[in-house]
Amino acid sequence: MINVTKTFFPPIEDYQAHVQRIWDNKWLTNNGKLYKELSHKLQEYLGVNQIIPMTNGTLPMQIALNAYGKCGEVITTPFSYVATTACVVWEKCTPVFVDIHPEYLTIDETKIEAAITSKTTAILATHVYGNPCAVDTIEAIAKKHNLKVIYDAAHGFGVTYKGQSIFNYGDVSTCSFHATKLFHSGEGGALFCQDEETRKEMWYRHNFGHDGPEKYHGLGINAKMSELQAAMGLSVLPYMEHILAERKRVCNYYDQHLEFSKVSKLKIREHTQWNYSYYPVIFKSEEELLETMKRLAAQDIHPRRYFYPSLEDLPYIESNSCPIAKDIAKRVMCLPFYTTLEEKDLEIIVNLIYHG
């Protein structure tokens, strides 16, 4: 079986060595030594301003929306994973969708300002497949209208834009460290921000609002990362260069062997150092996509319709029309893409796409 992705497992002895440290420390959670070490190493590796690793990638977004959404309207994209919109609704805000750029697939920055009303409190944009949004333009719009900017950077680990980590843009960025991501801690995620004051506020919010054992800074929730998760993160991090190099190898094979007269691919924004997080292809029609998926499935090869459907079709929201996002969502498919994918398998995948 060839799935769309496969978790990277570090050598088990690496993980066992970190787990032994946990047993030696007799400390499983609540800002332990491994957690602090992972935080420091990630901050150094990524070149980010402030980081708070958390137990998954969804809670950082909820915490940011709880702080900045203020039950108002949040301008966002329908072309993202369901968590993006679900977090907006969960935090009692109203999602207002803006359509996407047809090549970059990120929110169309030229359409944001027209969606702003007196009820708008924030912009929540997704760096789609690790491809940066037009962060400079979005920042200018936010400043003009006094709005907060939150980036769903679930796919953004290791991406840089104009020489800066993609996490160093916006008021808050969030990332997923789920097992399917480039860097992972089994389950996990992180919140990134730009200054110590914001970090302190977000830190309180991710730990029940605690300000010491008997005082409370304000409202909070439990989003703490455990030592076991930190142990996995510390085990995976030393292999990031290998992971990126192998994914680049797979990406290069697709680039060289796919026929782009029949499918199109993601356009990476200028000034971006990409991370090879996904390999989406866009078919000319949904029918061609479905026929291709059927051929691949017959050989036990399983790509993914990601993102599908467009989030404007969710049953628990009142939607506004985003025709480009809806059209792309019907025609986009992510190909199998992971470090151990062999050339013989890549050859089969490409041949099945075109020749059945």
pTM assigned to the model:
0.96
With beta carbons less than 8 A apart as the criterion, state whether 132 and 106 touch. Answer: yes
Give the gyration radius of the chain's Cα atoms.
20
In the chain, ranges of CATH 3.40.640.10 domains: 2-238
Residues 6+ apart with CB under 8 A from 230: 18, 32, 34, 35, 37, 38, 53, 185
pLDDT tens-digit readout, 35-49: 999 999 999 999 999
- Cα of 120 vs its chain's centroid, Å: 24
In the chain, ranges of CATH 3.90.1150.10 domains: 239-355
pLDDT reported for residue 289: 97
How far apart, in whole angstroms, are the C-alpha atoms of residue 308 and residue 332?
A: 8
Please state, as a whole number, how many other Cβ atoms lie within 10 Å of the Cβ of residue 293.
17
> Measured over all CA atoms, what is the biggest interatomic distance in the chain, rounded to whole angstroms?
67
Is residue 356's pLDDT more than 70? no
Is residue 355's pLDDT more than 80? no
With beta carbons less than 8 A apart as the criterion, state whether 191 and 202 touch. Answer: yes
Average pLDDT over residues 97-125: 98
Query: Nearest CA to 193 among 84, 60, 73?
Result: 60
Range scoring the smallest mean pLDDT among 48-62, 158-172, 250-264, 342-356 = 342-356
At the topology level of CATH, where does 239-355 sit? Answer: Aspartate Aminotransferase, domain 1 (3.90.1150)
Which 3 state secondary structure label does DSSP give 334?
Answer: strand
pLDDT tens-digit readout, 301-339: 999 999 999 999 999 998 788 999 999 999 999 999 999
Average pLDDT over residues 16-23: 98
Query: Nearest CA to 149 among 135, 132, 160?
Result: 135
> Could you say which architecture CATH assigns to the domain 2-238?
3-Layer(aba) Sandwich (3.40)
